[in-house]
Structure 1
Amino acid sequence: MKIKLLLVIVVTLFTVNASAQKGFPFDAEVRQFKHQDSLQMPAPDGILFVGSSSIRLWDDLEKRFEGKPVIKRGLGGSELWQWVDYYTPYVLFPYQPKKVFIYAGENDIASGRTAQNVAGSFEKLWTMIHDKLPNAEIYFLSIKPSPSRAKFLNEVILANNLIKAYADSKPKTRFIDVATPILNEKNMRPDSSLFKGDYLHLNSKGYDKWEKVLKKYVK
């Protein structure tokens, strides 16, 4: 069993390195994940968090859900379509998780992709996960309305609505609203006190809000 696992890791590392030579985005970060795995591979049936910087920068994610088999694999700056085209075989499938939490799509919209593009990427990603890991539960964390990206708010809302409608139609799939809890109740705009100074990434108080929502699903 150990020999088989070692072979899987070696093959994965070789494939990632080969892809990197072709311009594989975030190749250094992916190789670092694989190095970590070569030292201690997380056990199957874990709870995997993947996505962009809102996952990568959640420094105390594992501590907040202490005792749960949480695996954090965020790639800051990554876009949802890139998880479809690049990362899933290397940063998702090898862990054979029982639950997959996804936060991505915000960077796609900021780079000019439409809500329909983002929803289409999620549909492709869902199919990939469901085909490879049919027993896995899939959770999509809603795209947050960041103050520094206020001009994209309408596209964010539309993308969330499209993804929720799709998720609601699929088995073992749930759309989790982590956007509403970070709104100011008075004006229903993003509460800037929950963000870091860049008004893009959540601070500890912002993650408190997310933790409260996610607690019942991370089990």
Structure 2
Amino acid sequence: MKKIVVLLLFFGLNTFSYSQDADRFKGDIASFRQESDTLDLRDYDALIVGSSSVRMWQDIDRYFPGHKFLNRGFGGSQMSDVIYYMEDLIFRHPLEKLFLYEGDNDIAWGKSVGRVKRDFKKVLREVRKRMPDTQVYIISVKPALQKERVERQRKYLRLNRWMNRYCNRKEQLRFVDVWPAMLSENGVPREELFIEDGLHMTGEGYKIWANKITPFLR
């Protein structure tokens, strides 16, 4: 009996933690809901969900002539936030293709690779169950010049390797690896791909992402 109580308490606190963390995005989600009320999904080819690297890609359609993306990027987000807001971010927009970018902030804020993997699996299981015809594309974590991210590079690479293996084992799941193309010949992140904060990308950085994503739109 004591074990059951402890487990219930753990899961209750875990859910409460998700709720507290996700509350900071209420404004973003409210804006998404308002916009979604007026959308005609037939106008869109793909949905892209993720953190600030996605949010700041406001001119995404310019990189993909003939295609139209629905952008659901919200800055500072982690995969646990996607879990909390899945209904508004994903399931309200059952498009043929879903591109997902998370994991970057998760590791930066101290989560273990194992925790991030579990969160990814939870999202992907729900998508497969509720949107079985949707092709899902996981975008690898990108490198960065920011000191805190460089210090966590090994964890990012571990997560990327796992995502690659996981995608290779699953139908309707593909891995979009942007990491190698964003490195110089010396194996360090290319400065011209990043704005002054050393984390977010310039147009040149987004060109690399577009080059990696384009083959999956054919």
SS state at 1:66 partner: coil
Paired amino acid for 2:59: D
Unaligned runs of 5+ in 2: 1-18
8 Å Cα contact 1:45/1:98 also seen in 2: no
Paired amino acid for 2:123: L
8 Å Cα contact 2:97/2:137 also seen in 1: yes
SS state at 2:153 partner: helix
Q: Does 1:91 align with 2:82?
A: no
Paired amino acid for 2:85: Y
Paired amino acid for 1:163: M
Aligned pairs (5 A) from 1:58-69: 58-69=57-68
Unaligned runs of 5+ in 1: 1-19
- How many pairs does the alignment contain? 199
Please give the alpha-carbon distance, in whole angstroms, between the structure 1 residues aligned to 2:41 and 2:210: 22
Please give the alpha-carbon distance, in whole angstroms, between the structure 2 residues aligned to 1:44 and 1:31: 22
TM-align CA RMSD = 2.0
Please give the alpha-carbon distance, in whole angstroms, between the structure 2 residues aligned to 1:163 and 1:74: 20
Please give the alpha-carbon distance, in whole angstroms, between the structure 2 residues aligned to 1:130 and 1:69: 23
Partner of 1:188 in structure 2?
187
Taking a change above 3 Å as real, the CA distance of residues 91 and 23 of structure 1, as seen in their structure-2 partners, is: closer
Residues 43-96 of structure 1: per-residue CA shift (max 9 Å, x gap): 387300001011000121022223213111101100012211x11111111111
Aligned pairs (5 A) from 1:26-175: 26-43=25-42, 46-84=45-83, 86-148=84-146, 149-175=149-175
Shift of 1:22: 10
SS state at 2:23 partner: coil
Taking a change above 3 Å as real, the CA distance of residues 110 and 43 of structure 1, as seen in their structure-2 partners, is: same
TM-score normalised by L of structure 1: 0.85
Shift of 1:21: 10
8 Å Cα contact 1:47/1:69 also seen in 2: yes
TM-score normalised by L of structure 2: 0.86
Paired amino acid for 2:214: K
SS state at 2:49 partner: strand
Paired amino acid for 1:69: K
Shift of 1:120: 1.5
Structure 1 moving runs of 4+ over 4 Å: 20-23
